Structure 1
Amino acid sequence: MDKSPFSITVRELMDEFSLILHSGENGLDNPVTTQAINEGSLELAGYFEFLDCNKILVIGTPEISFLRNLSEDVRRLRLTQLMFFPLPAIIFCDRETPKKDFSRIADERAIPLLSTPSPKSSMVQMLHHYLIEKSMPFTTMHGVLVEVYGIGVLLKGKSGIGKSECALELIKRGHRLVVDDVVSIRKVNMKSLIGKPDSLLKHHMEIRGLGIINIKELFGIGAISEQIQIDLIVELEALSPDKSYDRLGVDTVYTDILEVRIPTVNIPVTHGKNTSVIVEVASMNHHLKQQGYHSAHRFLDSLTKRLSRDVPCETPYHGSEQDTGEPQQ
C-alpha cells in the first residue's frame, strides 16, 4: 500500500541527525511537509515576502554574526518578526547555539531550536537529501531482497515456499542480504525502485526451525547490503502439473510496483531442486539483457535462419513441352 503524501515530524529529524534541542520542546511534533529548506539570510535581514512557513530554517555563522552586529532593539524586532511565522523548526549549524532572546520566543511559539556542530553547507545538503528521499512514494512488500552479482533480486512467493532458505544459500555462495520478510520500497524516479530494510529487521533473517538469526554477525559485514535498486523479481511457486511454464523465455513478463515495471521470472519449486543456482543464472541472464544480449532472441533468430536455409522453396509447375493439358491414362 502506498504511504503518500509525505510528512515527518521534527522529532524524527532530531533523532535522524542527532540534533541537540535547546528550546521549543512543545513543537517537536511539528510536521515537515516539504523537501525545500529556508537558509535564513533574507529573513534575518527583514525580508519575509517569500518566506514559506512549511520549510525548516537553517542558519550558520554568517547569519548569527549578522544578528550580533544589529542593535538590541533591531535584533529583538527581527527575531519577533521571524518567529511570528509558524516555522517547523530552526537548526543552528557551525557549532552556533541560540541566545536567550531566541530561546524565549521559541518557547512561546513552540518552535524547536536545534543545533549541530556540522557546517551549514553539509547540513543543508544532508537534510535536503533526506527530505527528498522521504518525499518519494513508497510501499512495503512481503519477500526477501538480495544482491546477486550486483543485481537487486526480490524473491517473492507464498509463505513457506522457501524464500529465506534460498536467500541463505545465496549468502553462503557469496551474495548479500538486503532484507528478509518485509521490504520497504521507495520510488526514486520514473524507472527505479530502491529496496531497504526497516531499522528493526536490518541484518536479520527468520529460518524455520532455527528462529531469528543475524546475518552480519554470522557471515560478516560483506554478507549484507543496506539498500539496492530492485532490478528483477523472482516468483517462487510450487510446481503444478496442470500449469504450462515458459520454456523459451522470449517474452518478458513484468510486475508493476508504484507504476514502475520490473522484469519478473516464475520459477517452479520442487524438493531437491537447487533454486539458488537458478536465481544466480536468472540474475546473470538479466545482466546480459541489460547489456543488449538476449539469449532466447538470439536462439530464435538462429533457428529461423536455419529453417529458412534448410527447407527448399517450392517452384510452381508450368508443364513440359509435351504436356497437352489432357489427363494421362
Structure 2
Amino acid sequence: MAKVRTTDVLKNLDLELVSGEDGLHRPITTSDLHRPGLELAGFLDYYPKERVQLLGRTELRFFEKLPQAERIERMERLCDDETPAIVISRDLDIPEELIESSERHAVPVMRSNLTTTRLFSKLTAYLEKMLAPTTAVHGVLLEVYGVGVLLTGKSGVGKSEAALDLVKRGHRLIADDCVEIRQEENDTLVGTAPELIEHLLEIRGLGIINVMTLFGAGAIRGSKQITLNVHLELWNSKKQYDRLGIEDEKIKIIDTEVTKVTVPVRPGRNLAVIIEVAAMNHRLKRFGINTAQQFTNKLENVIKSEPDSNTDYL
C-alpha cells in the first residue's frame, strides 16, 4: 500500500487542484522532484516520469515561445501514465495544452502561491518525512534532560513504572508501549506515539492513565529524536555487567545505530535516578567528556609511575 498519494500532497500543502481530478489517488514513490526544463525543449530520453514535476516561471516562459504543435506534443509527453502530479508555482497561469493533456491522461495539475524555490523545499521536506523508512518498537520513549531515551525490556520489567517516576520528576513522555520510529535524513531516528495511545501510560494495578490530564501539558511531547537506548532486564547474578562503561554498546534500529545501556533491575534500585544519570552521562560523552576513559587513563598513569618493586633490591 502506498504511503503517500497525490491527494495527500494536495491537502497537506494547501494546493489548488486545477485539472486531472481522476488521478488524485496516484501513488508517490520518491521524494525527489523534477523541473522538466530539458523535457520542454524536446529531450525526453531520461525523463524521470515517476517524480512529481514542478513548473516555475522559467519553464512556463520558455514553453510560451514554442510553436503550437510542439506545445501540444510536449505536454502529451509530460503527462505520462506514471507521473503522479504536476505542480505550478507562483499562482502562474496554466497553459491550456497542459490542462487538456492532464484531463486526457488523468494527471493531477495543482497550483501554489509559493515561489518555486520555497515550494520545492517544502514539498521535498514533506515527501522525505512521509516516505522515510519506519518501524515500531515495544518500549517507552521519554525526553530526559533533552535526551531522547528509548526504554526497552521484556513485558513487566518496569518500563512504564520508571516512565511514571521520570514524568513526576519533570521529564516528558512521548510514547508508551508502542513507539513508532521513522528514519529521517542523516541517520536521524524520530519517535512518536500512535494516535490511539498518545499521552497514555499503562500502569499495572492502576490501569491506563492520561499523563497530560494528570501532570499538565508540560509532561508530554509529540515527537523526539532517539539518541539513547536504556535496556532494562531482570538482575542475573550469573551475568557479568559492565562496571566501567568504557566501550559503548550499540543497537541498530532500521539502518541507524543508537548507543545502548543495559541496566539490571532488582528491588531497591532507583531506576528513575539511574536513567537520569545515564542520560546526563550520554550528554557529557557527546561534549567530549568521558569519565570512564579519564579514570582508565589516570589508572594507567599511576601504574606506570610506580617504581618496579624489584629495583629496591638491586
Which TM-score bucket, shorter chain as reference? Answer: 0.7 to 0.9
Matching residue's letter, 1:211: I
1:260 aligned to which of 256, 260, 278: 256
Residue 52 of structure 1 pairs with residue 48 of structure 2: yes
Residues 190-234 of structure 1: CA distance to partner in whole angstroms, max 9, x if unpaired?
A: 7x3312215625842222324252538952257415331x22110
Matched, 1:37 2:40: no
Choose the corresponding residue for 1:219, options 216, 225, 228.
Answer: 216
Q: For this pair of structures, how many residues does the alignment match?
A: 312
For 1:125, the aligned partner's letter is: S
| 2:188 paired with 1:193 | yes
**Which residue of the partner structure matches residue 324 of structure 1?**
none
Matched residues in 1 for 2:18 and 2:167: separation? 46
TM-score (norm 2): 0.82
Pairwise CA distance, 1:278: 0.9
Query: What is the Cα-based RMSD across aligned positions, in Å?
Result: 3.4
Residue pair 1:203, 1:224 contacting (<8 A) in 2 also:
no
Point out where structure 2 has 5 or more consecutive residues left out of the alignment.
none
Whole-angstrom CA distance in 2 between matches of 1:77 and 1:52: 17
Letter in 2 for 1:295: T
Q: Which moved more, 1:12-21 or 1:104-113?
A: 12-21
1:281-320 → structure 2 map (5 Å cutoff): 281-306=277-302, 313-315=309-311
Larger radius of gyration: 1
Q: How far, CA to CA, are the matches of 1:276 and 1:75 in structure 2?
A: 68
Flag the structure with higher helix content.
2
Once residues 64 and 119 of structure 1 are traced to their aligned partners in structure 2, the CA distance between those partners, rounded to angstroms, is: 14
Would the aligned equivalents of 2:143 and 2:172 in 1 still touch at CA under 8 Å? Answer: yes
How much does 1:281 deviate?
A: 0.5
How far is the alpha carbon of 1:110 from its aligned partner?
A: 2.0
Structure 2 counterparts to residues 103-252 of structure 1, below 5 A: 103-134=99-130, 136-188=132-184, 192-197=187-192, 200=195, 203-208=198-203, 209-211=206-208, 213=210, 215=212, 218-220=215-217, 223-228=220-225, 230-252=226-248
8 Å CA contact 1:31, 1:88 repeated in 2: yes
CA distance in 2, matches of 1:296, 1:57: 54
Which residue in the other structure is 1:87 paired with?
83
Amino acid at match of 1:13: V
Q: Secondary structure at the match of 2:309?
A: coil
Farther-moved stretch of structure 1 (70-79 vs 106-115): 70-79
Q: Distance in 2 between matches of 1:185 and 1:294?
A: 29
Alignment check: 8 A CA contact 1:138 1:185 kept: yes
Q: Which amino acid aligns with 1:82?
A: L
1:124, distance to aligned residue in structure 2 (A): 0.6
Equivalents in 1 of 2:35, 2:67: separation in Å?
22
CA shift in 2, pair 1:177/1:115, >3 Å: farther
